[in-house]
Amino acid sequence: MSKKTDYIFLFFLVIATILPKWIISWTYFDNSILVDTIFNIKDIIYFPIVISFSEFTFSPSYLSHMSENMLLSFPVYSILIHSILFKITKVFSFFILEFLFQFIFLLIFFKVIQKIFNNTNYSIYFCISIFLIISFLQILFIMDPSKYLGLLFNSLDESFGSRFPRPLITGIIYFYFFYTLYDLKEKIEKFELKYFVTLVFFLSIFLNSFFYYFINFSLLLIFLFFKYLKIPFFKFLYNQKKNIVLIFLSFFILSFPFLFQLYFGETDYSERLGVISIDYKQKIHLLKYYFLNLFRAESLLLLIICFFIHNLINKKYDHLSAQVSNINLFFYFILASISAPPIFFIFSPYIISIYHFLGILLFSLIFYLIISLNFILTSKIIFKYSFVLRVFLIFFLFISNTFTAKKINEKDSLAIKETQKIQNYLLNKKLIDTKKKLFTNDLKIMNLWLLNKNTELVISDGFINSSKNKDIEFNLINNLKNFEISNDEFKNIISFGKSEIRNDFLMRLYTYKYQANSIYTYSELDNYSKDIRKKIINTSPFRVQQQIMPEDEKRRLISLFNKIKLDEKSFSDIVIINKKISPSNFKVYNKKYSLVYSNYLYDIYYLN
């Protein structure tokens, strides 16, 4: 079959993967495109940043009277194209780019696989099979949400799915990097400058989108460089000194946005993202914990199998040297992924969300097993082309994903319908493209408000704004006092005196600021309630998601609540509260606000 036919099949594979959820939305719900987008695109937490960057606002506070902030140090390359297209097509950009990037991803992935199997037909089937496996795992997980099913599904979905911006954007560079590395051995001998500038361009994209990949692929590149280099290293440096300078200069220029944001970024934003400094003692603890867990039964079994298969392929299939060399790159990436965390812990004075290292390693192990076992299979079996089988598999995938989408929509049907009612209210009351200030505890409503061209949010997710923590606290407490929330109710909102893990409302404001695990706590351990201290000490240092506000911080907020001088400029014009999430039993007592709308999920208060 021709390349054109193969690409057509890949296009329909994208259709079978992405379209079902949209069809279910259009069939079962009479929603606006805004509501459909909020429920169909993962991950909506990035929407406000896209909107802000599309308006060239790089220090968003979502309050026009608060603009003296440092930069939002969010990796700009990962949302650059979305921000540009959003400027032109608005909300439709998410729908368009989901299809476009997933198709580009599949084209590149197909070419990567084709170089390994050296069989176009099987490569097509392999691509289809990957998405069938993911769909099948998702169905099983819906029926039985077990830990290991969840780990396997999430590992594959986070590398092949359409979640924005990772892997929708980063997945393309991830596999294209491997595709480019296929030629590294030859290019080192000739040392083609253009080729190496391309590699540092990819590394700069990783640095400006998902820097964990930057570390892993940098180590892989260094390893391969010394493996393939034929002449002494210092002789090579001397011979190519001019080109090497040009390569480093190119990397510096391409990485400038990251360096610029690093220097001018808001420090409180970094704190909310979970950036923490670590000393020698903490480094030792991290290294011990990492290596002990690397040799746990599950991890060790995967590692042993991968090493065994690597040895088998290189001994038994040496007659297929080009293909074996290509598949070896994925094994070498496992080695880089094992080495990356300890090297990072040793040399970096800061750490952030280090659990991503474990996710990368897990996927590299799983993917190597999948691809190497399939390589062994194709070397034993002559695979014949079947047009009908391709069509059947893609159709089956479409049906499978439709079933999954229907199940997910059934689970979320109430939230979808209630969100559409909020959208109808906004339209009816002409709350579109206004400067009115919204107070809400719901991320979906925040996004709905912004997608309707409104710009003012009294409180916003700590991940999407560059405000200082003191301003976030002031805006929150200023409005709660204006709502005439009592001291006792405020204590309940911040869980004063309670051993609460992951207070959703506080985490919405502070993200990972109050992480508490065996390597880090925001305050001294004595400032946490007795019944939770042991849990903190026994919590993995990779568990950044465990958020616990210490009691001394709660007392500080209570003091601020009691002493605050109200500022009318930050008062809300409209309040939309999700009654099913924290804070519970929330009410606006101030008679200046009227309860103008109430349903099962939401209450809306409007300033008279």
**The pLDDT of residue 233:** 86
Instruction: Name the pLDDT band for 226 (thresholds 50, 70, 90).
Output: very high
Instruction: Name the pLDDT band for 318 (thresholds 50, 70, 90).
Output: confident
In this model, does residue 540 exceed pLDDT 70? yes
Average per-residue pLDDT for the chain: 93
Cα separation, 6 vs 245, in Å, equals 42
| Total Cβ atoms within 10 A of residue 478 | 22
pLDDT in tens, 146-181: 888 888 999 999 999 999 999 999 999 999 999 999
**The pLDDT of residue 497:** 85
Q: Which amino acid is at 294?
A: L
Report pTM: 0.94
**The pLDDT of residue 455:** 95
Burial group, residue 534, by CB count within 10 angstroms (0-12, 13-18, 19+): exposed
Cα separation, 394 vs 106, in Å, equals 14
**The pLDDT of residue 119:** 86
CA distances from 600 to 289, 452, 505, 586, 604 (A): 46, 23, 19, 14, 12
pLDDT in tens, 566-580: 999 999 999 999 999
**The pLDDT of residue 68:** 67
In this model, does residue 263 exceed pLDDT 90? no
Average pLDDT over residues 547-573: 94
Average pLDDT over residues 372-392: 84
pLDDT in tens, 460-496: 999 999 999 999 999 999 999 999 999 999 999 999 9
CA distances from 228 to 126, 214, 224, 231, 337 (A): 30, 21, 6, 9, 20
**Helix, strand counts (H, E) of the chain:** 26, 7
Of 148-152, 181-185, 359-363, the poorest mean pLDDT is in: 148-152
Nearest to 469 by CA among 519, 517, 506: 506
The residue that leads in pLDDT, 379 or 63, is: 63
| Residues contacting residue 103 through CB under 8 Å, at least 6 positions apart | 10, 11, 14
Cα separation, 241 vs 210, in Å, equals 30
Nearest to 338 by CA among 284, 302, 383: 302
